[in-house]
A = this chain, B = another copy of it.
Amino acid sequence: MRIRIEDVAAAAGVSMKTVSRVLNNEPNVREEMRERVMQAVTELQYKPNPSARSLAGQRSYSVALAYNNPSRNYMMEVQNGMLEACHASNYNLFLAAVSLGRERVADIQGLFRNFGPDGVLLIPPLTDDKLIIDELEKMGVPFACIAPKNAAGRIGVAMDETTAVLELMAKLVELGHTRIGHIKGAAAHGACRWRFDGYRKGLQNAGIEFDPELVVQGAFSFESGCAGAQELLDLRKPPTAIFAANDDMAAGVIRVARERGLNVPGDLSVCGFDDTPISRHIYPSLTTIRQPTSEMGRLATLELLARIKSPEAGRMLRVDHALVMRESTQAPSRR
């Protein structure tokens, strides 16, 4: 038979409520009582029933991670950070895959129909999905975002991506590059715009004229990086360096360059963004910008948990980036 709080109370010779107080770290309990209770808990191996706690306490002690981000490495990093924060607070993290089509709102509704988390964690591009956001706000569910396009009134965490790219561009210019191509990310992500802005401002700072021909649309996927690279390298006057808006696309650029017999970085410098493991696993290894991805997951979760506890709490945090120079960049060769 399962041990209940009542049994613990009896064993310790106190009331149920006192046991409850001890277990939940509430004030107004004498040290002696606390010890007596804890001893009984240990002896009986008492484990509170989560469902009962949730039912009586009107909350589930769980948050949902809603995702449809296709980058596995990125996802797993963020998820690990979130999980760490949740477990540290004895919160449960459960998964909610959100589909891409119009039924995605139904996915969110199903989430609450079946499970009812106390809050939701959003990752791009869901952070800017109007239907999803509206639905959550309508239901009055707290949510936190990672790198939302529109941060106004939101809580979570973001990075100054534009500045990060600015620094990268300065490096490329310093190396001597003047013809620098850019493969954009998927437009639904804020990152697409921020990184593009960094690219443009970087050119501007260096006094290099912006050439629209050197910018192609990608989608954050390896394949789109390949396609973008083909386009850029087919130009009559191809770039000597390409900045792809993430590592996966940069890996695509390197692949295409090698297929074409180009030497990276000898003939073409390549850089990415994110510092995912692939940046170290490919050859040459990739110059990129490090996001503290896991830490961002952790911090966003802490903000969400804070807001769950009190509707006033929770802010939009900023984290730092770092430029990581590796093998894929060098001065352009004279041709």
Contacts and interface: CB of A to CB of B under 8 A. Distances in A.
Interface of A: 47-52, 54-55, 60-62, 72-73, 75-77, 79-80, 83-84, 87, 90, 92-95, 97, 110, 112-116, 222, 248, 251-252, 254-255, 258-259, 277-278, 280-283
Contact of A255 (B61, B77, B97, B281): B281
A54 B55 CA distance: 9
Contacts of A254: 283
Contacts of A51: 51-52, 54-55, 60, 116
A280 to B, nearest CB: 7
For the complex of A and B, the 4 pairs showing the least CB-CB separation, nearest first, are: A51-B54, A94-B94, A72-B76, A51-B55
A113 B75 contact: no
- Residue in A48, A84, A87 with the greatest tally of chain B CB atoms within 10 Å: A87
A36 to B, nearest CB: 20
B95 A93 contact: yes
A49 B280 CA distance: 47
Given A73-B72, A76-B72, A95-B83, A50 B281 contact: no
B55 A83 contact: no
Given A50-B60, A50-B115, A76-B76, A281 B248 contact: yes
Given A114-B90, A281-B251, A97 B80 contact: yes
A61 B110 CA distance: 14
